[in-house]
């Protein structure tokens, strides 16, 4: 293991300043500074607030990661950074910092794709990825199905959301129900006291023959149902609404993921992204994968949400594959396509 390079990973695509350090597929540090509390009163992430928070958190979070790993700057062999997709201003902070560290340390720089990093991070817990595998990434900004022949070289888009991402729908429904931001954990918690069969909410694009997702109609259906109950003077049982909404989301996600596995003859499914921390999604995916004979991989919740470890993990794969490092001219690309793993 000592012969494998030490990679510092920097993640600033949204509201969390994540710094990770890995050696090969061994995680040495995963330090996160979140500005979530600063956004909560707005009910969503404010890009300018996030960017300023990254500026303030960058240096102390890097230093904390080095301390956690018991390393010095001189030990670092390469720097990897999320170059996109994400919030433009937030990405710029991370990319500028990564360039500075790489230049100052005299080590290679790797600009990587945020979504591909969510795939690569699973290797820190479960070892090398099967080739190929199907990956489903679900978060506040993305709901994507991918065919991954090799995460360091080749990622193919199979389907994505046509409107709201799953995590975005969780946040909006939480607001309707009077639950705090971010909505995902609070809906998950409330749903444990309710029934997923209490209300028959719609399943968007479930049988449309594509591998795309749509959650905007579901979000609207929940809002209309709640409005109608309140207008008629009836009580809204939040746990039942939360559970029924959650069931509609995870039902579609798991069915589409297994459709992708069958269509492409793949026996391994990876689920990543912030929504992959949802307890019902993890349980239903496990149940349906076992029934279908598909092997399921889901990282522990702390590696599902945005973090620097995932960026370092993908950077390590790029180093191992002999990929040419990025130049110091790499841009921050808020709409970087998933098919571009490395810039």
308 is in an annotated binding site: no
**Residues found in the chain:** 343
138 is in an annotated binding site: yes
Contact 327, 343 (CB under 8 A): no
**pLDDT of the residue at 49:** 87
306 is in an annotated binding site: yes
| CB-facing half-sphere around the CA of 114: CA atoms within 13 A | 36
Would you call the peptide bond into 182 cis, given omega within 30 degrees of 0 as the criterion? yes
Residues whose CB is less than 8 angstroms from the CB of residue 265 and which lie 6 or more positions away in sequence, other chains included: none
Contact 265, 237 (CB under 8 A): no
**pLDDT of the residue at 140:** 80
Q: In this structure, are 156 and 218 located in the same domain?
A: yes
With CA atoms as reference, report the closest residue to 199 among 232, 231, 247. 247
**pLDDT of the residue at 37:** 67
With CA atoms as reference, report the closest residue to 35 among 221, 182, 234, 219. 182
Q: In this structure, are 120 and 137 located in the same domain?
A: no
User: Could you tell me if residue 72 is inside a domain?
Assistant: yes
For residue 114, give the H/E element and its range.
helix 114-120
User: Could you tell me if residue 332 is inside a domain?
Assistant: no
**pLDDT of the residue at 329:** 96
With CA atoms as reference, report the closest residue to 251 among 208, 196, 210. 196
3 is in an annotated binding site: no
119 is in an annotated binding site: no
User: Could you tell me if residue 338 is inside a domain?
Assistant: no
- Kindly list the distances between the CA atom of residue 336 and the CA atoms of 12, 23, 186, 194, 313, in Å, as whole numbers in the listed order: 14, 27, 30, 39, 19
211 is in an annotated binding site: no
Q: In this structure, are 214 and 248 located in the same domain?
A: yes
For residue 312, give the H/E element and its range.
helix 308-320
Q: In this structure, are 87 and 137 located in the same domain?
A: no
Contact 275, 170 (CB under 8 A): yes
User: Could you tell me if residue 115 is inside a domain?
Assistant: yes
With CA atoms as reference, report the closest residue to 80 among 311, 340, 325. 311
Q: In this structure, are 84 and 197 located in the same domain?
A: no
User: Could you tell me if residue 148 is inside a domain?
Assistant: yes
Q: In this structure, are 213 and 118 located in the same domain?
A: no
Q: In this structure, are 155 and 280 located in the same domain?
A: yes
> How much is the CA Rg of the chain, to the nearest whole Å?
20
As for how many domains the chain has, the answer is 2
75 is in an annotated binding site: no
The two beta strands, 154-160 and 268-272, are unpaired
With CA atoms as reference, report the closest residue to 19 among 74, 101, 85. 101
Q: In this structure, are 240 and 121 located in the same domain?
A: no
Placement of tokens 């559970």 in the chain: 243
List, for residues 136-181, the tens digit of each pLDDT value: 999 888 899 999 999 999 999 999 999 999 999 999 999 999 999 8
The Cα 21–Cα 309 span in angstroms is 6
171 is in an annotated binding site: yes
User: Could you tell me if residue 329 is inside a domain?
Assistant: no
**pLDDT of the residue at 34:** 78
The Cα 246–Cα 276 span in angstroms is 12
Whether this model's pTM surpasses 0.75? yes
Low-confidence stretches of the chain (pLDDT < 70) are: 1-2, 35-37, 39-42
Q: In this structure, are 169 and 317 located in the same domain?
A: no
How open is the CA angle 186-260-275, to the nearest 5 degrees? 15
In the chain, what is the straight-line distance between the N-terminal and C-terminal CA atoms, in Å? 27
Q: Can you give the three-state secondary structure of 71-122, one letter per residue?
A: CCHHHCCEEEEEEECCCHHHHHHHHHHHHHHHHHHCCCEEEEEHHHHHHHCC
Residue 330, number of CB atoms within 10 A of its CB: 19
**pLDDT of the residue at 47:** 78
The range of the structural domain enclosing residue 43 comes to: 6-125+303-321
184 is in an annotated binding site: yes
The Cα 260–Cα 307 span in angstroms is 27
Q: In this structure, are 146 and 286 located in the same domain?
A: yes
Q: In this structure, are 179 and 226 located in the same domain?
A: yes
User: Could you tell me if residue 311 is inside a domain?
Assistant: yes
Q: In this structure, are 278 and 213 located in the same domain?
A: yes
By three-state DSSP, how is residue 123 classified? helix
84 is in an annotated binding site: no
CATH of the domain at 83: 3.30.420.40
By three-state DSSP, how is residue 325 classified? coil
The Cα 34–Cα 32 span in angstroms is 6
User: Could you tell me if residue 1 is inside a domain?
Assistant: no
The Cα 260–Cα 241 span in angstroms is 29
Sign of the C-alpha dihedral computed for residues 338, 183, 304 and 32 taken in this order: positive
């Amino acid at each position: 293991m000592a012969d494998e390079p030490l990679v510092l990973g920097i993640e600033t695509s949204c509201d969390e300043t994540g710094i990770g350090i890995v050696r090969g597929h061994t995680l040495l540090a995963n330090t996160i500074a979140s500005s979530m509390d600063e956004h909560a009163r707005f009910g969503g992430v404010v890009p300018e607030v996030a960017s300023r928070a990254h500026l303030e958190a960058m240096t102390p979070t890097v230093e904390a990661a080095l301390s956690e790993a018991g390393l010095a700057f001189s030990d670092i062999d390469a720097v990897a950074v999320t170059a996109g997709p994400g919030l433009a201003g937030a990405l710029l902070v991370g990319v500028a910092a990564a360039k500075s560290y790489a230049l100052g340390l005299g080590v290679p720089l790797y600009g990587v794709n945020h979504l591909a990093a969510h795939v690569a991070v699973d290797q820190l817990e479960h070892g090398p990825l099967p080739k190929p595998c199907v990956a489903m990434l679900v978060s506040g900004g993305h709901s994507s199905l991918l065919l991954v022949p090799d995460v360091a070289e080749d990622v193919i888009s199979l389907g994505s959301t046509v409107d709201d991402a799953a995590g975005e729908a969780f946040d909006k429904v939480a607001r309707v129900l009077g639950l705090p931001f971010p909505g995902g954990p609070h809906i998950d918690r409330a749903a444990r006291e309710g029934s997923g069969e209490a209300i028959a909410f719609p399943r968007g694009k479930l049988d449309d023959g594509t591998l795309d997702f749509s959650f905007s109609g579901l979000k609207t259906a929940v809002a209309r149902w709640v409005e109608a109950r309140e207008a008629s003077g009836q009580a809204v049982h939040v746990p039942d609404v939360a559970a029924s909404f959650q069931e509609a989301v995870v039902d579609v996600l798991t069915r589409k993921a297994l459709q992708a596995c069958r269509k492409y003859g793949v026996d391994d499914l990876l689920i990543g992204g912030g929504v992959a921390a949802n307890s019902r999604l993890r349980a239903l995916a496990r149940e349906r994968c076992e029934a279908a004979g598909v092997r399921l991989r889901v990282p522990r919740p702390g590696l599902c949400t945005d973090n620097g470890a995932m960026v370092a993990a993908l950077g390590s794969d790029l180093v191992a594959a002999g990929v040419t490092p990025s130049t110091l001219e790499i841009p921050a690309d808020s709409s970087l396509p998933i098919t571009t793993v490395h810039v």
